[in-house]
Each structure stands twice: as C-alpha cells, then as structure tokens.
Structure 1
C-alpha cells in the first residue's frame, strides 16, 4: 500500500518554497571517500556480529574509515577541490562555504574557516551548520539558495562531511556496523532568467526527539571521567524508532512536495534518499509505489555517512549515467533531531544555463 497524507499533516505544512524570480542550480559536484575499507568480515573479528546479520538488517557490505592522523576538514578539502574543478571556477569565485557536519575538526575554531583558508576561497563567508546531522546537506542547499537571492553573490559551496568513525563506540554493534566516513561537495549558482531548470522547491520539517543523540560533551552534560567510562561520548541510537520515523516522514514529505508543485510521482526520473539503510530505502520506495529502478543506492559500499550521503550518492548517480540533462530529481533526507525534508530539482548539465 502507498502512503497517504493526513489532513492534519498537510495543514501543518508551512515550509514549502517556490523560487520564481531567482532560480538556483547545481553547477558542479565533488566527492571524497577514504581509502581504508572496513568489511563486514573484519567487524566479525572485533564485535559480536556476522556478515549475514549486517547485510540482512542494513544491506551494508563495507564502509570507509578516515586515517587517524586526518580530520573532517581533509575530506572537505578533497571534495571541494573536485567540485570546483567540475564547475570550472576558482576558489576565489566562491561567495560562501557552508559546511554541514556534527564531527567538526574542533568545537572551536570553525571547520568552514579551516577549509576556506586551505582551498584559497579568500572572499567566502564561512558558515558551519553543525547540528542537522544526516539532513545537513539538504538544509545547506536551502540556506545556500537563499544566500544566492542576493544579486551580489554568485557561487555557494555546500559540503556535507562526516567522520562517523570518531563518534561511534567500537564495542557497540547496534551503531558501529552502520556508519562510515565521507564528504561530498556541491557548487550552487544562479541560473539565467528564463531557464526553468534548477531547484524548484523544498519541504522541510523538524520534531525534537532523542532517538539519536550523543549524551555528553555539551553544556547540559560536559565530559567527565564517569561519562567517558560509560561511553556517553559516543553516538546512541534507537534503531526501531529511527526506522519508523524514516519510513513515515520521508515518503510523506516527498508526496507533500510533489503535490504542492503539481507533479506526479511518475514525473520524477530519480528519487535519491538518505543512504542510512538499504531496507529503509526499499520501504520508502514501496510506500511511494515506485520501482527500485527509479532510485540509486551506494549504502552497500559506504554505510551511513550522515551529511555526506546526499552529495556522494548524487555524484555517483550522475557518474553512473543514472541522471540525464533536464531530468527531474527528488532528494529526501532525515537526520537526528529530527530534521527531515525533500527537494525537487530539474538537473541541468548545460553550463550555458547558468549566470
């Protein structure tokens, strides 16, 4: 059965945006995944799990872990440089850098500032979007689109990156098998007047829940010896609640978005979901009554890389030939908090369509 939208939920929608006077598109993309592959068979030797259990529950076969001497900014820099090269612009042309991650290099200083100076984006405004988790890149794209409504700005670099291996408990199979490290970067630019392609709009929602949280390290509960001994510095997750929320909120958001813009599900060429769990993606497509051929997945190779999943799966779908010029795409992500939402994009591969 497909999902239906209740009147209560539909009446509560207040965050759909339709861009009329200014349209923004994706000019270039980049991706970085560490070379260190961690297979399920390796995890079998470390924790109480099996390859069969991991694949059955998550679809994940392997994930990547960042080298210990490197930090999140390293992945951001690598993805950013590729995105700039693919966009055909220099770092000095960037007006803002939005980095979304909850595994920054430091609490202070800014990871966005570290990346800005490393790539030579001398005039860019560095912005750190630190607590949106897996929905971060979608929210970063919304923020970047608003930034580009100012005619004085031309290019925004949005980077989703996560060093999840640094905040998951290596002794906890309920979290350790799920996550990996990666970064993805997207260059946004205004499109020429009269060009209909680009970001058509979005649907965003949020609801406070502690289903995914890190218990200590903030002002509510600073680190101390007791909290560290109890493993409260690591990510904690209620898997059942995450499943229920993701498989409810994501397809619901997609249908709300399409309805507001007069699109049918069948009009969409590709649905790209947050790559948290292959079974969640399958269930979302089932709720939408859409075939799996209309989505693209890489969670099998990388696991859940949080804010990096959307830009990395978009990058790989494009390189795999799953996206063509003028295709209609829907992105849908959900992150701890909860933050969730969807975005409707007509993808343009013609640089002449951009200002």
Structure 2
C-alpha cells in the first residue's frame, strides 16, 4: 500500500514538473505537450492559465512626429514611411516605470473582477526598472497594497520581456504554485533614448500593460515558446546605465536598424510557425495576431508569412511607438477594449528584443 501511494504521489509531482518545463519552453517537451487534448488535461485535473482581465496606461504627454521634427532633423513623412509611427507617449519627469505599471495593474484587476490581495504572483517585464534593486515588481506590490507576501520579481528580455513573463506565470499556474498572477510589461524607454539621434529617438515611447491570469479548467494559454541567441548582442543594446542620476558608460539605445529588421522578420516568422504547428493548430485558426509593436513593416511581414489579412492584426504602433515590453499587453488591452478581440478567440502573441531574445504564445481568450 505504501509503495502504491509513493508511486502515485511521485507520478503526480512528475506530471506537474513536466508541465512547468513545458510552459517554460523546452521544445521537445512542448512537442509532446501539444499532443495532449483539452479533455485529457481535464481528466488529469490540470489547469490552464486563463486571461481574466487586462489593463493599460499611457502617460498624458503625447508627442507627434511633427513635435520631434522641431528638435531633430526628421519629418512626419520620413518616420511614418519607415516605421508606421505617428505618435508616442512620454512619461513626466516624476513618473517612474512602477507608476505606469501600478496604474495598468489597477485597471487590469478591475477588468478581471479580482481584488489586489487575491494576487499570489507578480511578474514585471521591464528594461527600465526604477532602481537596480529592489525589483520593480516589489515596488508595484507595495503601491497596490498587496501584503500577502506573494512572490514578486522582474524579467528582463527587453521587447520580448512580456512573452517571457507570461510564459513564466503560465508555468507557475500549471504547476499549482500560483492561482492568480499579475503579469505586467512596463517601460520608460524615453529615459534611455538619445534625443539627438534621429534614428532611434523617433521610435520609442513609454507605457504599461497588465494581464491578470487565473487558474481555470477552460482553455487559456495553449502553448508558448521562448528563444534567445546572444551572438547578435551588438545589433541592439544599451551598453551603459543610469543609476541614481549617475551615468555609467553610454546609457542610450544603440541599434543597427537593417540588421535588426532582417533578424526579426526571419525569427518571428519561424517561431510563429513552430508555436502554431506544435499546438496542433493551423494559421487559419488564428483569429488575431497581437505582435510586438516595433515597426509596421516587420508586422506586415509576419502577417503575410502566416497568410493573415491585416484586418486580423492588432496594430497600435502608430499611436504608441515602440514601448518595448509594454507593447504587447498594451495592444492586447486596446484590442479587447475596442471590441475587436472577443472571448473564445485564438490569439497569437509574439515579440523579439535585443540579445536577441524572442518568443510567442498561443492563447484562447
């Protein structure tokens, strides 16, 4: 009897470990995981991580291309034709990344109908934290008045950060380590932009988006995959930093635009194919593509590769610019709030950032 109980307990633990590794992105595990049907999962009493609510926040200061043309040698036509960007929002001097994140989180909690103290996991994806430490997530925890001692930490994968954060939260929920997770992408990228460099300052904006995930028997996050390749770090980076007002090195974005474009187009198409096929889906089953909003030409390329009409793509780059880790949750919330995205639809979220790091998540909303 004792042996039988031990075997059952061990199998149960191994099953949860299997799903934790699967959610974090092991490709061989994913391939097996994708073959398990929804009915099989329910029979095993496994739970999905389902989106319960979303929220977003943009600073009030809205800057147009014409505004930038007064400061650097550029024009609305030059920026729009190359990027699709028309506007971006810039945080005030007294607005920190945690402020943006906290406000987006409050809105997400209201949307989800979840009280702040019900949250038992907080993950913030950001490349522009308030401080070196503590994490921005713990600062958000304090600002939301969450005093239940739940784990709170940051994830840094730049523009792919929200994919990494969402996949990590998915693993926590599938393994039973969390029941309700607050996943945030927030940036004040305007702080690390050289406003004299017209090739980069026109691209970026500030903002935050948040998602409340909850354990559910209903389908939610179906499949996710994360990748990275450090061999390309010279194409996009910030080699220095600013800490407490002190500058160390060169704290501004350095970018090889053509190199980034070429790599992004190739890898986003590849990972989209992999996530869709490994989940047992086909591109025509995707209702909405919710991509990282960096450049409209990159987005167009991914949609074309998947055979998706641009009417099935959530596009916010024209209004937000590139908000790095915030761009996908911002776009997701916009799509939900304006009635485009509806319950039961299949969404493909994907993004790529410096490093390079990239990822994609297939989710049923």
> Which category of TM-score, normalised to the shorter sequence, fits these structures?
0.7 to 0.9
Deviates more, 1:179-188 or 1:13-22: 13-22
Aligned equivalents of 2:178, 2:135: Cα separation in 1: 22
Q: Report how many aligned residue pairs link the two structures.
A: 324
User: What is the SS of the residue equivalent to 1:187?
Assistant: strand
Distance in 1 (alpha carbons) for counterparts of 2:186 and 2:282: 32
Secondary structure of the corresponding residue to residue 355 of structure 2: coil
Is 1:272–2:296 an aligned residue pair?
Answer: no
1:33 is aligned to 2:55: no
Which residue in the other structure is 2:224 paired with?
202
Hey, what does 1:6 align to over in structure 2? none
Cα contact 1:40–1:54 (8 A) shared by 2: yes
Q: Deviations over 1:246-269 (max 9, x none)?
A: 111111111111111221111111
Q: Secondary structure at the match of 1:322?
A: coil
Verify: 1:281 aligned to 2:303, yes or no.
no
1:108 Cα offset (Å): 2.0
**Who is 1:118 aligned against?**
143
Deviation at 1:47, TM superposition (A): 0.5
Q: Distance in 2 between matches of 1:148 and 1:139?
A: 14
Distance 1:41 1:223 in 2: 30
Alignment of 1:66-81 (within 5 A): 66-81=91-106
Please tell me whether the aligned partners of residues 31 and 312 of structure 1 are also in contact (alpha carbons under 8 angstroms).
Answer: yes
What residue is the counterpart of 1:136 in the other structure? 161
Q: Report Cα offsets for 1:11-55 as digits up to 9, x if no partner.
A: x94473548422111011110001101110011110011111000
In the alignment, what sits opposite 1:336?
Answer: 354
Contact 2:124 2:186 in 1 (8 A): yes
Asked whether the equivalents of residues 15 and 205 of structure 1 are also in contact (C-alpha less than 8 Å), the reply is: no
Structure 2: distance between partners of 1:69 and 1:24: 35
* Alignment check: 8 A CA contact 1:15 1:202 kept: no
Corresponding residue number in structure 2 for 1:9: none
Q: Which has the higher helix share?
A: 2
CA distance, structure 2, for counterparts of residue 285 and residue 89 of structure 1: 34
Say which of 248, 254, 273 aligns to 1:255: 273
Matched, 1:56 2:81: yes
Offset at residue 149 of structure 1 (A): 2.8
CA contact (8 A) 2:53 2:211 kept: yes
User: Is the contact between residue 15 and residue 203 of structure 1 (CA under 8 Å) also seen in structure 2?
Assistant: no
Q: 1:105 aligns with which of 91, 115, 130?
A: 130
1:296 equivalenced with 2:314 (yes/no): yes
Partner of 2:325: 307
Conserved? CA contact 2:221–2:363, under 8 Å: yes
Q: Secondary structure at the match of 1:255?
A: helix
Cα displacement (A) at 1:150 = 4.1
Q: 1:93-141 CA deviation, whole Å, 9 max, x = no partner?
A: 1101101101001112221111101101112211111x20011111111
1:166-186 Cα deviation digits (max 9, x unpaired): 000000011100000000000
Q: Is it true that 1:94 corresponds to 2:129 in the alignment?
A: no
Using the alignment, how far apart are the partners of 1:150 and 1:254 within structure 2? Answer: 25
Contact 1:15 1:204 in 2 (8 A): no
Q: Give the conservation status (yes or no) of the 8 Å contact 1:28–1:84.
A: yes
The 3 A distance-change label for structure 1 pair 41 and 150 is same
Alpha carbons of 1:291 and 1:240: their partners in 2 closer, same or farther (altered >3 Å)?
Answer: same
Q: Using a 3 Å threshold, how does the CA distance of structure 1 residues 72 and 173 change in structure 2: closer, same or farther?
A: same
**TM-score normalised per structure 1:** 0.88
Mapping 1:148-187, distance limit 5 Å: 148-151=173-176, 153-187=178-212
- Note if contact 2:184-2:210 (Cα within 8 Å) is conserved in structure 1: yes
Q: Which runs of 5+ in 1 are unaligned?
A: 1-11, 348-355
SS at match of 2:137: helix
Secondary structure in 2 matching 1:79: helix
Q: Deviations over 1:209-229 (max 9, x none)?
A: 2211111239xxx955xx4xx
Q: Structure 1's 14 and 236: CA in aligned 2 closer, same or farther, altered over 3 A?
A: farther
